[in-house]
Structure 1
Amino acid sequence: MAASEEESWRTYASDYIGLVLLLIGYLLIQFFVEPFHRMFSLNDLRISFPHATVERVPLTHDFLYALFLPLALVTAINLATRAPPHKHHVTLLPLVIALVLTSFLTDTIKNTVGRPRPDLLARCAPRKGTPERTLLTIDACTQTDHHTLHDGWRSFPSGHSSFSFAGLGFLSLFLAGQLQIFKHAPHGSVVGHTEKVVRGDLLRALVCGAPLLGATMIAISRCQDYRHDVWDVTVGGLLGWTVAYWSYRRYWPRLSSGRCEEPYEGPVGGGAGEGGYGRVRDEEEGGGAGEIM
């Protein structure tokens, strides 16, 4: 099912253009956009937690776990299995797209919602004598560090959670496809869509689930550091997982496919039919009732 090695990466030009635009949009948000500042009060216990100067999973570690580790593992697996260039390409490209798109969506929502973090008061350092039972604005704060102060209104959703579930979630999907833990093997008459379900053993299933456990622990650490509450990390995790699955399925068959370990041939112009990527029919995938992802 792999495309010819002579396939030009130019057939994916629109994907790369979109990726660059997303990256530019993300950088513009980072450098030029400040969050909406919701009003707050000093007697709100939900935003009265201490500010952790040392995080359990700092941003650099989140990049290590959710970006560099998945990149290294999927590349190593493809090298070990002597995958053709096309398979390398459509493994790395959707992984990067998932991470960049997730970051763009997360920061767009963060800045629009402007929800205070659980440690907002510690970041704000309100002026002495500020009334407790009054709604306050950011003008009541004495914090001079720009990032520390304004980042206090970027609680929803959790960026660590969405980023980790995008990268590690994609890794989990890739492993599930390569190890074929949900594969439906055609059996008997193809016309009648009769098939035999072949389930992977528990060990392989645990290997595929390990990245999701890692992403979950990263999300939990954000609550432990009082950077987010449970709703922030839950929505962030769901956002990252959804984007990871969406990005994976643009290039790979569903996990129950009889060819789940091989990517689609390519986009329109690369040997595919009209209307989308080179997807095979359900009966060729080993599809039918009871699809899994």
Structure 2
Amino acid sequence: MAQFSKIALLKAYALDWVLCLVFVAAFFAADRMEPYHRLFSLEDKTIQFPFAVKERVPMWLCGLITVVFPFIVMTIVALVVKKSLHDWHHASLGLLMGHTLNLMVTEVFKNTVGRPRPDFIDRCQPKEGSVDSPVFGLSNSSICTRTDLLTDGFKSFLSGHASTSFAGMGFLSLYLAGKLHVFDRKGYTYKGFIVAAPLVVAILIAISRTEDYRHHWQDVLAGSLVGFLLSYFAYHQYYPSLHSYAADKPFTVRLKRVKPEYRADFSFVDGSEFAITVVKNDEEILVKDTRALLADSSVNSSSVDNVDNV
């Protein structure tokens, strides 16, 4: 295992864990709010699909696939293969950060946009003889006789299943890509299949929402993009670029620095950076902080733009 204890990791990243709790609290607060009731037309064919009582991928199954499964896979890789508590902590925190941030953002979109779902008319059950307003040609929710499914009926944009799927499986895909060094320019085809597999699962879950008539295709596309972008953001809070030589290594733990220390910063013509902090501990020199973000290219003395020793 890595040399960092659980207590040290929790202390160094306490704020990150607290933020995840804040995102969850914000999600539940937004979920209790009534969404915007957008006007609709009774003649709109895109919201006249039947209400599916049984969903192909219910929310509990979506959570099992996109939260529990990635966590188990990353736990095996980090603790069994890499034997690194440090890596396991960063992977777990990154996955949680991506998911909780995605929950909050998704729910805010749902409530503020208030788009009717494809099965909205079936949920609404309009009063007999209802017609669109002769002035503006639209109707509002006051004509609905069924109210138990109405609130959720205005939460079509964006798709929560799609965003959740890509937040979880997208993070797993990035994690595996880093561990396999998929962008090392050696062209191992099997790496591409392994990295793409989680994304295929996410795509299938997202598509199922159009088959259940729960979402329009635009909702699914937007949800997928939001989920993946937030997983990308969360991943790179704790791991370097996938093009880095150290793509399989998590960022150094945020521990209190030991003095005296000596720092050297290197910059290369391609914009890459390499920073080293050397700490003197008694009579032994230890490399305490090494973070490499290098492109896959040869390094020579002419490539160095700046070297700064402190």
Q: TM-score range by the shorter chain?
A: 0.7 to 0.9
Name the SS for the 1:281 alignment partner: strand
Gaps of 5+ in 1: 184-196, 274-278
AA in 1 matched with 2:292: E
Higher relative helix content: 1
- 1:145-178 deviations in Å (ceiling 9; x for gaps): 1xx2111110111000000000000000001111
Q: Specify which of 293, 297, 300 is matched with residue 285 of structure 1.
A: 293
Q: CA 1:284 to 1:42, structure 2 compared with 1: closer, same or farther past 3 Å?
A: closer
Name the SS for the 2:169 alignment partner: helix
Q: Is 1:98 paired with 2:98?
A: yes
Question: What corresponds to 1:13 in structure 2?
Answer: 14
AA in 2 matched with 1:286: L
Name the SS for the 1:284 alignment partner: strand
Higher relative strand content: 2
Name the SS for the 1:56 alignment partner: coil
TM-score, structure 1 as length reference = 0.85
AA in 2 matched with 1:15: D
Gaps of 5+ in 2: 264-271, 276-290, 298-310
Worse overlay, 11-20 or 215-224: 11-20
Q: CA 1:78 to 1:280, structure 2 compared with 1: closer, same or farther past 3 Å?
A: farther
Distance 1:157 1:168 in 2: 18
- 1:10-54 deviations in Å (ceiling 9; x for gaps): 111111121111111111122x21110001121111111111111
AA in 2 matched with 1:287: A
Q: Kindly tell me the number of residue pairs found equivalent between the two proteins.
A: 266
Q: Do 2:4 and 2:86's aligned partners in 1 also have CA atoms closer than 8 Å?
A: yes
Distance 1:80 1:179 in 2: 16
Q: Is 1:198 paired with 2:186?
A: yes
Distance 1:215 1:3 in 2: 32
TM-score, structure 2 as length reference = 0.80
Query: CA offset at residue 4 of structure 1?
Result: 3.6
Distance 1:33 1:245 in 2: 29
Q: CA 1:245 to 1:219, structure 2 compared with 1: closer, same or farther past 3 Å?
A: same
Question: What corresponds to 2:120 in structure 1?
Answer: 120
Larger radius of gyration: 2
Higher relative contact order (CA 8 A, sep 6+): 1
| 1:4-83 correspondence to structure 2 within 5 Å | 4-6=3-5, 7-30=8-31, 32-83=32-83
Query: CA offset at residue 270 of structure 1?
Result: 6.7
Question: What corresponds to 1:226 in structure 2?
Answer: 213
Name the SS for the 1:37 alignment partner: coil
- 1:116-165 deviations in Å (ceiling 9; x for gaps): 111110000001011146422111111131xx211111011100000000
Question: What corresponds to 1:142 in structure 2?
Answer: 145
